[in-house]
Amino acid sequence: MPSNRLAPQHLPASGGHPRFRGVLVTALVSICLAGCSSFGPRSLQQSRLEYNETIKSTTEEQLLLNIVRLRYTDTPSSLAVSAIAAQFERTQSLGLTPFFAASGADINQSFTAILPQALVQQADRPTFSLTPLDDQEFTRKLFTPIPLDGVVYLAKTTWPISTVFRLYLENLNWVPNAQTASGPTPADAPEFSDFRRGVEALQVLQDKGQIVFGIDERIEPSGSPLPAGSVKASDIIEAAKNGFEYRRDANGKTWSLIKKTQQPVIRISPDAFGSPEWLLVTRIFKLKPGLEKYDISQEALSPFPVTYPAGGVGVLDLETRSMLQTLYFVSHGVDVPGEHLKQGLAQRTHDKSGKLFDWSLITGGLFKVHYQEGSERPARARVAIPYRGYWFYIDESDQDTKSTFSLLVELSRLELNTKASPGPMLTLPVGAR
């Protein structure tokens, strides 16, 4: 606990100049009060951004650690910082202590003296509350597939469609996107090449502005028309509360109960119809050519494409991944030291010829984690964690991986963050400094 203490001063009470004593007292009071009004704001200014940066960096490190753990078929685990209580305290005192000192000139003569003292103390006592994220609600969200509207929303933003679809889709119209990579590392290489080529063609079309994701408002009737006299104001209000609407029919004699729905769609520019990219997309995903708009659905088609009509289908049907499946998928972008593969610490994958499979064929341009031996943190690391005697890190210059990792961090917050459960919390009081 730091403190500031003035050196004692012997001031003759009888011989000292009154003005000097007054100046001294004023100076001591000024020292005690200096910074009192600014201690709180200054402490907040100095600590708020430090806490912010620490929370950000440790959140990223925790996510990277869990991704590396999954590559080693280890169990992921997370702690959420549910509360930070930072208490700043400042105490100060001013004292004038009288005492008697013997005079050197005459041992029989004493002079009253004072010993001025000023004491300033300050302390920072932060308390962190950490909540283990292992309750039932968190686990359920971890295994729940990402909703269709979430994927479509990401595809409508500035995130590349190839990044979004490669990360969060198991398949598109049942064309597989390395489905066996959505869990522990498989022994055999997954199927992915058709999906990858189709999605990259969609990315070219998106870059040209020839495909656009949007929402159509659809009206779905519910039940048969009702006589106009049978619909009361209370019925209209009650229907509105439940997301329905009574609408008068064109004949003016009946009412229909309808519900408005939001249908995700992809719109195609007529300029794209003859392009090599769109022809490749329609062939790989078995789409009906010539349509300017396709509905986007979730697991609505048969899982057996051989049953699709000869002319193709009019929808893009998606099967989405859960957050855990997505983390397993990107974990295959983690480089594993050769000695760990030899020791069987991480699963090897082989292609059809029996050669060691190169996972960069799937995760290349999307996600890459390097490793470095030694105790020193890698100099070029954006995020780095120690694990099993190595540093695993994301290179500062790898913009693709940094972009993907940023998306994973934000989506994990959106999908997995829950209210702190009433279960045990770990509260860490940090010693005063």
Q: What pLDDT tens digit does each residue of the chain (433 aa) get?
A: 444 444 444 444 444 455 555 555 555 555 555 555 455 676 666 677 887 888 899 999 999 999 999 999 999 988 888 777 766 666 666 666 665 555 555 555 554 566 666 666 666 667 778 787 777 777 888 888 998 888 888 888 778 999 999 999 999 999 999 999 999 999 999 999 999 999 999 999 999 999 999 999 888 888 788 887 787 888 778 888 887 888 888 887 888 888 888 899 999 999 999 999 999 999 999 999 999 999 999 999 999 999 999 999 999 999 999 999 999 999 999 999 999 999 999 999 999 999 999 999 999 999 999 999 999 999 999 999 999 999 999 999 999 999 999 999 988 877 655 444 444 444 444 444 4
Rounded Cα distance between 320 and 203, Å, is 18
* Angle formed at CA 348 by CA 345 and CA 352, multiple of 5 degrees: 170
Q: Is there a single domain that holds both residue 62 and residue 206?
A: no
Separation of CA 50 from chain center: 19
The answer as to whether 246 is a domain residue is no
pLDDT of residue 172: 97
27, 6 Cβ separation under 8 angstroms: no
Helix (H) or strand (E) holding 51, with range, is helix 36-71
Cβ burial, residue 267 (10 Å; 0-12/13-18/19+): middle
Do residues 166 and 311 share a domain?
yes
pLDDT tens per residue across span 255-269: 888 888 889 999 999
**Cα separation of 276 and 397, whole Å?**
33
d(CA 377, CA 373): 9
**Exposure letters 365-374 (e unless 16+ CB within 10 A, then b):** ebbbbbbbee
Helix residue ranges per DSSP H, 118-229: 136-143, 148-156, 161-168, 193-207
Return phi, psi of residue 237, to 5°.
-65, -45
Retrieve residue 360's tokens: 């960069």
Question: pTM above the 0.95 mark?
Answer: no
163 with 68, same domain? no
Contacts by residues 50-57 (CB-CB < 8 Å, ≥ 24 positions apart): 51/84, 51/86, 55/81, 57/383
Residues 108-162: pLDDT tens digits?
555 456 666 666 666 666 777 878 777 777 788 888 899 888 888 888 877 899 9
Question: Do 175 and 59 share a domain, yes or no?
Answer: no
On whether both 12 and 69 belong to a single domain, the answer is yes
Assigned domain for 233 exists: no
Whether residue 92 sits in one domain with residue 178 = no
Does 29 map to a domain?
yes
Question: What percent of the chain has a predicted confidence (pLDDT) above 70?
Answer: 75
Is 117 in the same domain as 182? no
Cα(149)–Cα(147) distance, rounded to whole angstroms? Answer: 6
Residue ending a domain, among 112, 132, 152, is 132
The answer to whether position 275 is within a domain reads no
Asked if residue 393 lies in contact with residue 370, where contact means CB atoms within 8 angstroms, the answer is yes
Helix H or strand E encompassing 171:
strand 169-172
For residue 122, tell me if it sits in a domain. Answer: yes
pLDDT of residue 423: 46
AA identity, residue 10: H
The tokens describing 52, both together, are 């912010």
> What pLDDT is stored for residue 133 in this prediction?
77
Is residue 328 in some structural domain?
A: yes
Closest CA to 75 of 130, 129, 136, 142: 142
Give the Cα separation of 416 and 56 in Å (integer).
Answer: 16
Range of the domain at 314: 144-210+290-400
CA distances from 65 to 61, 135, 177, 247, 341 (A): 6, 20, 25, 56, 18
The predicted pLDDT at position 110 comes to: 52
pLDDT of residue 326: 96
Are 75 and 183 members of one domain? no
Please list, in sequence order, all residues whose beta carbon lies within 8 angstroms of the beta carbon of residue 234, skipping any fewer than 6 positions away. Answer: none
9 and 105, same domain (yes or no): yes
Amino acid at site 209? G
Q: Are residues 76 and 32 in the same domain?
A: yes
183 and 307 inside one domain: yes
**Angle made by CA atoms 301, 181, 282, in degrees to the nearest 5:** 40
Residue 226 lies in a domain: no
| Cβ atoms of 195 and 338 closer than 8 Å | no
Number of domains in the chain: 2
Domain end among 132, 167, 187: 132
Task: Indicate the pairing of strand 110-132 with strand 79-102.
Answer: antiparallel
Q: For 363, phi and psi rounded to 5 degrees?
A: -100, 0
Judge whether 239 lies within some domain. Answer: no
Same domain, 161 and 126: no
